[in-house]
Amino acid sequence: MLTYQRARGELVVTLKSRDGTTVLDDLRQDGCMKARFPRPVDWMEVTTLNASGGVAGGDRLSTSLRVRSGARTTFTAQAAERFYRALPGDPPATVRTRILVEGAAEWLPQESILFDRCAFDRRLEVDVAPGAWFLGLETLVFGRTAMGEVVHHARLRDTIRIRQGGRLTLHDAIRMEGPVAETMARPATGNGAAAIATIILVAPDAAAHLDQLRDALAGHQAGVSAWDGMLVARIVAQDGACIRAAIVAGLPALRDGRALPRVWNC
């Protein structure tokens, strides 16, 4: 029986505060998952990368991140992650990310680019301690429009779960199996959009940013709501370039004008 090589990777990163500066407390890298630490400016930046070059059916990737009290960290990714076509009979790739926030943390990966007939199950689990601060972003791009790509079929589950003080306050799940292009064309789902982004802010003053974010996203296809110490924005766009333009317009409203991670400009 023919078998194929599959990627396996685990990354564990813990940051702490020492004399007012965020420093590395623990690091474990196994398999294809790696982390790099550009020279800090204000917040410490942690850049994750998948050395396998993309995600295929049957891959198993796990990331565990912890930001201790007093630490301030931005987690980002070296490049857009690509989810490639799965072979018939392949199990879906499993991607798991767990973030424990006791200080201030940002989860700002670049886009996830989906290829036709990809298959994956991805979960982002975030536990935010009382009084802590978290800003998160996830983006799905259904094919590279400039390359003429269309995701006709796929099997995907993309789940975001947020807990505040141990209490589940957000369960956001996107599930698509089968004719994805048809699903995204429906008025009640994507209305022809080929990209989706979700921005989440968890903070004691999250609701105070509601009008500011709405103003920043004016002119884009977006909706923003705030409740229970949390602000959530959903954005849809015609392609990857448009969704990135919306994200670049919206994030500064939640980040005190700080520049996006440097790898976003590479």
| pLDDT tens, residue by residue, 66-78 | 999 999 999 999 9
38 has a pLDDT exceeding 90: no
Let me know if 2 is exposed, middle or buried by CB neighbors in 10 A (0-12, 13-18, 19+): exposed
Domain-located, residue 111: yes
Domain-located, residue 163: yes
40 has a pLDDT exceeding 70: no
The pLDDT of residue 108 is 98
Q: String of b and e for 176-186 (b: at least 16 CB within 10 Å)?
A: beeebbeebee
Beta bridge partners of 18: 21
What is the mean predicted confidence (pLDDT) over 132-159?
Answer: 94
In whole angstroms, give the CA distance from residue 62 to residue 94: 8
In whole angstroms, give the CA distance from residue 57 to residue 94: 8
For residue 147, what is the DSSP state?
A: G
The pLDDT of residue 4 is 66
Domain-located, residue 2: no
Domain-located, residue 158: yes
The pLDDT of residue 265 is 86
For residue 26, what is the DSSP state?
A: E
Q: Is there a contact between 113 and 141 (Cβ–Cβ < 8 Å)? A: yes
The pLDDT of residue 189 is 85
Domain-located, residue 243: yes
* Beta strands in the chain, from DSSP E residues, in sequence order: 8-18, 21-31, 33-36, 44-50, 60-67, 72-77, 81-83, 93-101, 104-108, 112-114, 119-128, 133-142, 153-164, 167-179, 195-202, 221-227, 230-237
Q: Which domain holds residue 53?
A: 8-265
pLDDT confidence tier of residue 243, bands split at 50, 70 and 90: very high
The pLDDT of residue 2 is 55
Name the least confident of 59-68, 154-163, 239-248, 257-266: 257-266
Domain-located, residue 161: yes
Domain-located, residue 185: yes
What is the mean predicted confidence (pLDDT) over 207-233?
Answer: 96
* Beta strands in 129-253, from DSSP E residues, in sequence order: 133-142, 153-164, 167-179, 195-202, 221-227, 230-237
224 has a pLDDT exceeding 90: yes
1 has a pLDDT exceeding 70: no
The pLDDT of residue 136 is 98
In whole angstroms, give the CA distance from residue 88 to residue 238: 29
Domain count, the chain: 1
Domain-located, residue 1: no
124 has a pLDDT exceeding 60: yes
Helix (H) or strand (E) holding 249: helix 240-250
pLDDT confidence tier of residue 5, bands split at 50, 70 and 90: confident
CA 147 to chain centre: 23
In whole angstroms, give the CA distance from residue 38 to residue 36: 6
In whole angstroms, give the CA distance from residue 24 to residue 137: 23
6 has a pLDDT exceeding 90: no
